[in-house]
Structure 1
Amino acid sequence: MKGLYLVEPAVGLYSFSCFLIFPLMQQFVYRRLWEDITNTTYPESDNVTRCMKNSSSNETSHHEEVQKHASLLSLYSDLFSAIPSFVVTILLVAYSDRGGRKIAIIMPVIGTLLYISGLLAISFFKLNIYLIIGCSIVSSLFGGFGTFLGGCFAYVADISKNEHQKTLRLAGVDMILGVLAGVASLSTGYFLKAAGFNWPFITSLIGLLLLLLYAIFVLEETVEKVPPDSSSLDTPPQDSPIKQMFYGIYHVFARRDCRSKTILIMLLVAFTFFAFADIGGVSLITLYELNEPLCWTGIMIGYGSALGTMVFLTSFFGVMAFSYCKVPQTIIALMGISSFTIGMIIVSFSKTTEMIFLARIPMFLAAMPFPILRSMMSKIVSRAEQGALFACISCSESITNTVSIAAFNGIYAATVAWYSGFIFLLSAGLCIIPSILIGLFNSLLYYLCTNSLISYYWYCHVSCHLHNI
């Protein structure tokens, strides 16, 4: 039976299965640590202001202590799993240029299956909460979320017929990721209220098993369809497979001329800094909502997470509309960064449920920079180097995920007692760096355009590719 060239169902299943668990994890850790530290049952209430009922200094100190331990547990879990995940991401996504994209999609799914199976065991048998660190390490040996997305983005680059379609399909993958994440996040609160933590874990496992079957038996491979071209990698046959993979990543940069290399590095650095600010800030919103004075319940956390992840849907339509109107891609990226910055500033001062919901509105275009910057970088390299490029991007994302979550959790643990919103102001402030880099990129193109006929030709060539003019 002939397979399908549709990676989007795989993205949807993986997104739903993972984001059914992600917002649940902080609540799971928070409740278990509360019981371990206070030797009392976690206070359940449908009233979102429940923790304001008891404003004693003892109750407040319990909340602060649990917050610190929860953030530090996340810190340890991410740090110990960082290096294995980083190495596996490089190997799998770069290897997909030769061995096929499906290996970079299937292996992370297996790792996530093992991780969630471990969480189910910890929840069902009341095992030590710090075993989560071990589950993270085992899962990282198969890659992670970045590995899966790197394989999917390279797959999309393979099957896209032109650059405009590539931009929209990359944005579409981000949109599916966000919408299914929102549905999963919204379901989490009801799952938790109706059946506790075990059933969401079981549901996630079922979704991952369906995804594994789809990826193995239905999804068609694309690598053999990529025609050889003059820029294909001419690696000496005597090199080992691992050397060939790193050789391919090296040539993504080494084979570029100085100007293309400068652009590629600038875009990659801008992407990394924005991801650092975005991931670090957004990862702590749930913990912030659990803390005083919001003290949200599981259902409210689900509503908030669902509204937050709808940014991917609105950002997709934003990319589609602005691309149709021939808005330069750098301007679209700057609009997305501004959207995220304004939202984070509002979150930092939000002390009521109404304000935290309103803070999501300015962020409705905040996901636009990710597909735009990926598309701009993808256009600079050849089709035979897409896997190596997205291996670089995925590794950058993996390192950024680990470092940003670790750094932001550490800073949050140190500042939560005197100002819990400080971390979101920091996230907004860091967006200045990618904005400056993208602005410098635009200035560089303009300078080259106005200084010589040769530079003008090069400017027009790059502009046609990067701005779709």
Structure 2
Amino acid sequence: MKGLFLVEPVVALYAFSSFLIYPLVQQYVYRRLWQELTNTSYPISDNASRCAENSSASNHSSYYKEVQRQASLFSLYTELFSTIPSLVVTLMLVAYSDRGGRKITIITPLIGTLIYTLSFLAVSYFELNIYFLIGASILSSLFGGLGTFLGGCFAYIADLCEDGHQKTLRMAGVDMMIGLLSGVASISTGYFLRAAGFNWPFVTSALFQCLILFYAIFILEETVKKAPTDAIILDGAPQRSAMKQMLYGVYHMFAGASHRSHLVLLMLIFTSFSFAYVGGVSLITLYELNEPLCWTEILIGYGSALSTTVFLTSFVGVSAFTYCGVPQLLIVLMGILSVVSGMVLLAFTKTTVMMFIARVPMLLSIMPFPVLRSMISKIISKSEQGALFACLSFLESLTNNVSIAVFSSVYAATVAWYSGFIFTLAAGLCVIPLFFLGVVGLMGGGVPKEINNPEPVYSGEEDLVEDQNDNSPLLS
């Protein structure tokens, strides 16, 4: 059966299955911690807020603050212990995909996600200790993570797109698909939880992940062509060269870049913006569970769905601005300012209506990510796209994990006196990518024309040449 060169269905179903349970993770941990710390059942109400009915209790506020602190620390431990394995796997797999194929970077993290989902189902069904989830997170990180998956998907798209505008729009389309399907999953999560409890959403997510694996293994076509194994085997040379490809691919990308300063500055903008944005957004659910909002699972589902619409609106924004010829740096600037304005509003939000309104200024907040990926991809040759997205995914995963850990610890320390401080911090940290963006603008603002080197077909001859001369490059 002839395969398809469509990675978007994989991304779409992955987003749906992940966000079907993502809002439940913090809620499940929150409820279990509530039961353990208070020795009472978690208050469930059909009202918009649970605070009003419990406001008469003298120790009500202290309970919420302690549970908030413990829940944020749980998130911190999970991120810290799973970060390093995930980063190492991301760097090795996505860099190796330049010669080993892109599908390995897509299939492997899908297996890890399925393991984590089934582990969560076991903890929920058998009411095991919630700290087993940290072990499950570490185990799944050995298969890579979201950074590995997205790095492979974006490298896959880069292989197929020759035109720069097409590459920008298709990468933005992937981000939009993530948001659209995530929104559908998030808005149904609250009703799903109330009607069936925690177990059935996990079962449903696991079934979808099995479907994704089937598509990725048997239907998705490979974009990297490889020679037969017997053509490249000689005294173990392929294994040594493959390891060198993983270790030195990123180095060669930087060493051979003709516009190294642009490459470094664009990556600094990408990582610093990701740090501020992800750190702030990661704690919105905990903020909604806290006083004075005290949202129910239904409202949290609506809030998560509204948050994910930024992927759709950002895609529309990128498409419209690109069609109108707006400079890419200006598109990135508008996206960063969108995040700053939204975070400032979130920091001072105390009512349900304002919590929904605060999300409106952030409707363009995803625009910088696909635009920056496309800008960086244009100045790197096609033979190094895997190394590029390995580096980019490594930095993004590292930044996001460190960001969540830092913001979780800050939130645990500040929730007692000002729970909105973390959003103010996120807005303030956006000054860093704005500074680097200004530097790129002062350097001329332009990114060099796309390098259209023909995509090499690996034949194994490069290994033989390299084994004879250690000073020669790995791949031309």
- Paired residue for 1:434? 433
Matches within 5 A, 1:273-292: 273-292=272-291
SS at 1:152 equivalent: helix
The residue identity in structure 2 corresponding to 1:61 is S
Q: Once the two structures are superposed, what CA deviation does each residue of 1:4-55 show, in whole Å capped at 9, x if it has no partner?
A: 0000000001111111111110100000000111111000001122213323
Deviation at 1:67, TM superposition (A): 0.5
2: CA distance, partners of 1:88 / 1:247: 15
Equivalent positions of 1:177-192 (< 5 A) are 177-192=178-193
Aligned residue number for residue 454 of structure 1: none
Partner residue, 1:106: 107
Aligned partners of 1:52 and 1:292 also within 8 Å: no
Partner of 2:26: 26
Aligned to 1:231: none
* Aligned AA (1:414): A
**2:15 aligned partner:** 15
1:5 maps to 5
CA distance in 2, matches of 1:439, 1:181: 33
Letter in 1 for 2:302: Y
Structure 1 residues 61-460: aligned runs within 5 Å = 61-224=62-225, 239-257=240-258, 260-445=259-444
**Quick one: distance in 1 between partners of 2:334 and 2:7?**
28
Q: Deviations over 1:376-421 (max 9, x none)?
A: 0000101110110000010011101210000000000000000000
State how far apart, in whole Å, the 2-side matches of 1:38 and 1:243 are: 55
Partner of 1:44: 44
Q: What is the CA–CA distance in structure 1 between the aligned matches of 2:376 and 2:96, rounded to whole Å?
A: 19
Matched letter for residue 12 of structure 2: G
- Cα distance in 1 for partners of 2:320, 2:355 equals 28
Aligned mates of 1:65, 1:114 — CA distance in 2: 31
* C-alpha contact 1:315 1:368 (8 A) present in aligned 2: yes
Hey, what's the Cα distance between the residues in 2 that align with 1:150 and 1:220?
17
Aligned to 1:455: none
Aligned partner of 1:450 in structure 2 is none
How much has 1:249 moved relative to structure 2? 1.1
TM-score where L is the length of structure 2: 0.91
- For structure 2, which runs of at least 5 residues remain unmatched after alignment? 228-236, 452-476
Paired residue secondary structure (2:225): helix
Supply the distance in 1 between the matched residues of 2:286 and 2:239 (Cα, whole angstroms). 52
**Partner Cα separation in structure 2 for residue 368 and residue 238 of structure 1:** 40
Q: By how many angstroms is 1:464 displaced?
A: 4.9
Alpha carbons 2:379, 2:449 under 8 Å: kept: no
Alpha-carbon distance, 1:240 to partner: 4.2
Deviation at 1:239, TM superposition (A): 3.5
Rounded to whole Å, the distance in 2 between the matches of 1:238 and 1:320 is: 43
Structure 1 unaligned blocks of 5 or more: 227-235, 447-458
Contact 2:378 2:449 in 1 (8 A): no
State the match for 1:449 in structure 2.
Answer: none
Counterpart in the other structure of 1:60:
61
Contact 1:49 1:294 in 2 (8 A): yes
Q: Partners in 2 of 1:244 and 1:166 — Cα distance? A: 25
> What residue is the counterpart of 2:455 in the other structure?
none
TM-score of the aligned structures, taking structure 1 as reference length: 0.92
* In 1, Cα distance between equivalents of 2:244 and 2:156: 23
Pairwise CA distance, 1:238:
7.8
Aligned-residue offset at 1:187: 1.1
The answer as to whether partners of 2:250 and 2:388 remain within 8 angstroms in 1 is yes
Q: How many Å separate the matches in 1 of 2:50 and 2:202? A: 27
Instruction: Give the CA deviation at 1:145.
Output: 0.6
Paired residue secondary structure (1:249): helix
Q: Which residue type is aligned with residue 195 of structure 2?
A: A
How well do the aligned residues superpose, as a CA RMSD in angstroms? 1.5
- Separation in 1, partners of 2:359, 2:158: 31
The match for 2:460 is: none
Segment drifting more, 22-31 vs 55-64: 55-64
Misfit runs of 4+, over 4 Å: 463-466
Q: Does structure 1 conserve the Cα–Cα contact (< 8 Å) formed by 2:119 and 2:133?
A: yes
Equivalent position amino acid for 1:22 in 2: Y
- Distance in 1 between residues matched to 2:49 and 2:166, nearest whole Å: 48
Q: What amino acid is the match of 1:362?
A: P
8 A contact 1:272–1:396 mirrored in 2: yes
Alpha-carbon distance in structure 2 between the residues aligned to 1:238 and 1:89 = 19
Q: 1:388 to 1:51 in 2, by over 3 A?
A: same
Letter in 2 for 1:3: G
* Structure 1 residues 86-133: Cα deviation after superposition (integer angstroms, max 9, x where no partner): 000011111110110000000000000000100000000000011110
- Paired letter, 1:373: L
Once the two structures are TM-superposed, the CA of residue 244 in structure 1 deviates from its matched residue by 1.7
Contact 1:349–1:421 (CA<8 Å) still a contact in 2? yes
Which one-letter code corresponds to 2:375 in the other structure?
A: M
What amino acid is aligned across from residue 116 of structure 1 in structure 2? T
Deviations 1:343-396 (A, max 9, x none): 010011110010010011111100000000000000010111011000001001
Deviations 1:294-313 (A, max 9, x none): 00000100000000000000
Task: Report Cα offsets for 1:255-314 as digits up to 9, x if no partner.
Answer: 113xx1111010101100110011110000000000000000001000000000000000
- State the SS of the aligned residue for 1:41: coil
In the aligned structure 2, how far is the partner of 1:41 from the partner of 1:32? 9
User: Within 2, Cα distance between the matches of 1:240 and 1:465?
Assistant: 28
The amino acid of 1:283's aligned partner reads: S
